[in-house]
């Protein structure tokens, strides 16, 4: 099929920053794109060929949108999977598949999938309601501390809480959830696996993620991860095994823990371009967004190695600031060597909302990390 400067249409469910960055590549290749998002001011609205406002969880809306395109992909997991299944049954190509999304959308199902496929993951208990956890603790089936996770609709630190004592449970929503064993770990790692429709596979280098202690959001992504080669190889093999189990087409970001005794445990996956791959726009031979497009269109996969070391800093809304966004001192960080800001186009900021990211590249990873720290201290995402 001719995808370029042709009648071919690519549909994207979701018009957030990930969709916007996929459109960097569709613009480069002149691939016709249709995007749907519930927000009329979604970041991707300006870069696509057709933009629609619609509810991604509404069956009829998603089916109607999907029938207009030749290949359908996502930039957010919270979409109507029954609609995707109906579209697949009508011959529309949907990547990731409805089957994959159905498993990943529910964290309990995702964890059971790992157990069924012998993929290493932290021990967990499953509960229909948060209120059942207290009884499990009393009966000795569960002990503090543990990690509480809502099975549905968690993202960017939402729907996750470390529970150290009974009182930590009181403010949690009474929903289906899992209680995961606390894992003492040295590092949080991630590997992005690309697989195209022909079954060709490539992995990006292992990255190391540093988290904000309060917001439970990634603050820095460091590529390459500062770990021994044998640990990197182990993480890569676990990521490949996970992607193979899902028979995934597109990108699969596999987030992992490196435990104190150097075991690799899968935390969770995302079947799309991911925060842990943003560094690749500046640092890699093929950025993750181009690779996702190549994969879902069945094109040859690009090189995944890095041209240079890269560190990504998330730009999130400052605490106590809500309203029209201002990027204070952005010109100061742009004066630093190897620094590139990406602004997502969200006009309103609020505490810890992802508003953009900054990539820092350098031949030396430690130098890049130092500049990243300076960037973090300098730029402020505040309101007017």
Is 100 part of a structural domain of the chain? no
Based on C-alpha coordinates, what's the Rg of the chain?
A: 21
* CATH at residue 147: 3.30.1490.20
At which of 155, 181, 207 does a domain end?
181
Q: Is the pLDDT of residue 216 over 80?
A: no
- For residue range 276-327, what is the model confidence (pLDDT) as tens digits? 999 999 999 999 999 999 999 999 999 999 999 999 999 999 999 999 999 9
Residue ranges for the known binding site for ATP are 107, 149, 180-183, 188, 267-268
- For residue range 40-51, what is the model confidence (pLDDT) as tens digits? 999 999 999 999
359 and 345 within one domain: yes
User: If we measure between CA atoms, which residue out of 204, 190, 210 comes closest to residue 372?
Assistant: 210
Is 73 part of a structural domain of the chain? yes
Total domains in the fold of the chain: 3
25 and 166 within one domain: no
Looking at residue 211, what is its pLDDT?
81
Mean local confidence (pLDDT), 242-254: 96
Q: How far apart are CA 358 and CA 375, in angstroms?
A: 8
Is 105 part of a structural domain of the chain? no
At which of 44, 74, 94 does a domain end?
94
User: If we measure between CA atoms, which residue out of 111, 121, 274, 114 comes closest to residue 190?
Assistant: 274
Mean local confidence (pLDDT), 228-247: 97
Is 213 part of a structural domain of the chain? yes
Model confidence, pTM: 0.94
211 and 163 within one domain: no
Helix (H, G, I), strand (E, B) or coil at 367: helix
- For residue range 28-70, what is the model confidence (pLDDT) as tens digits? 999 999 999 999 999 999 999 999 999 999 999 999 999 999 9
* CATH at residue 72: 3.40.50.20
Looking at residue 129, what is its pLDDT?
93
Q: Is the pLDDT of residue 119 over 90?
A: yes
63 and 147 within one domain: no
Q: Is the pLDDT of residue 229 over 70?
A: yes
53 and 152 within one domain: no
Is 40 part of a structural domain of the chain? yes
Mean local confidence (pLDDT), 353-380: 96
262 and 370 within one domain: yes
229 and 371 within one domain: yes
76 and 19 within one domain: yes
362 and 270 within one domain: yes
At which of 181, 204, 219 does a domain end?
181
307 and 201 within one domain: yes
Looking at residue 311, what is its pLDDT?
98
199 and 284 within one domain: yes
- For residue range 138-173, what is the model confidence (pLDDT) as tens digits? 888 899 999 999 998 766 556 889 999 989 998 899
Looking at residue 159, what is its pLDDT?
85
Is 3 part of a structural domain of the chain? no
138 and 85 within one domain: no
Q: How far apart are CA 331 and CA 378, in angstroms?
A: 10
Is 102 part of a structural domain of the chain? no
Is 103 part of a structural domain of the chain? no
Identify the residue whose tokens are 């350098």.
362
Mean local confidence (pLDDT), 79-94: 97
* CATH at residue 220: 3.30.470.20
Torsion region of 118: left, alpha or beta (phi above 0 gives left; psi -120 to 50 gives alpha): left
Q: How far apart are CA 91 and CA 202, in angstroms?
A: 27
Helix (H, G, I), strand (E, B) or coil at 169: helix
> In which domain, by residue range, is 63 found?
9-94
Query: To the nearest whole number, what is the mean pLDDT of the chain?
Result: 95
Looking at residue 156, what is its pLDDT?
56
Residue ranges for the known binding site are 107, 149, 180-183, 188, 267-268
User: If we measure between CA atoms, which residue out of 14, 288, 354, 290 comes closest to residue 156?
Assistant: 354
Two tokens at 156?
Answer: 């960017």
């Amino acid at each position: 099929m001719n995808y370029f400067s042709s009648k071919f249409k690519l549909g994207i469910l979701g018009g957030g920053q990930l969709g916007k960055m996929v459109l960097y590549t569709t613009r480069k290749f002149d691939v016709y794109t249709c995007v749907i998002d519930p927000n009329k001011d979604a970041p991707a609205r300006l870069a696509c060929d057709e933009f629609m406002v619609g509810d991604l969880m509404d069956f009829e809306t998603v089916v109607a949108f999907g029938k207009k395109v030749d290949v359908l992909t996502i930039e957010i997991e919270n979409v109507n999977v029954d609609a995707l299944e109906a579209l697949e049954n009508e011959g529309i190509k949907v990547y990731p598949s409805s089957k994959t999304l159905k498993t990943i959308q529910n964290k309990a199902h995702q964890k059971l999938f790992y157990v069924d496929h012998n993929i290493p993951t932290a021990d967990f208990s499953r509960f229909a309601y948060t209120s059942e956890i207290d009884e499990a603790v009393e009966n000795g089936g569960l002990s503090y501390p543990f990690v509480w996770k809502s099975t549905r609709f968690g993202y960017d630190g939402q729907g996750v809480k470390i529970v150290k004592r009974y009182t930590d449970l009181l403010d949690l929503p009474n929903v289906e959830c899992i209680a995961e064993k606390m894992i003492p770990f040295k590092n949080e790692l991630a590997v992005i696996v690309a697989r195209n429709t022909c079954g060709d596979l490539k992995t990006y280098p292992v990255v190391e993620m540093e988290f904000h202690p309060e917001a439970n959001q990634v603050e820095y992504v460091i590529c390459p991860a500062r770990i021994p080669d044998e640990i990197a190889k182990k993480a890569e093999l676990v990521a490949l095994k996970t992607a193979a189990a899902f028979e995934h087409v597109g990108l699969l970001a596999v987030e992992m823990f490196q435990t104190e005794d150097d075991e690799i445990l899968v935390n969770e996956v995302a079947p799309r371009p991911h925060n842990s791959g943003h560094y690749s726009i500046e640092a890699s031979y093929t950025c993750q967004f181009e690779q996702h497009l190549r994969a879902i269109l069945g094109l040859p996969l690009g090189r995944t190695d890095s041209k240079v070391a890269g560190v990504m800093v998330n730009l999130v809304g400052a605490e106590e600031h809500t309203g029209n966004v201002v990027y204070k001192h952005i010109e100061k960080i742009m004066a630093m060597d190897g620094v590139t800001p990406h602004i997502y186009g969200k006009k309103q900021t609020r505490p810890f909302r992802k508003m953009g990211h900054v990539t820092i590249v350098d031949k030396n990873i430690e130098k890049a990390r130092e500049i990243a720290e300076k960037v973090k201290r300098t730029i402020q995402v505040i309101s007017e």
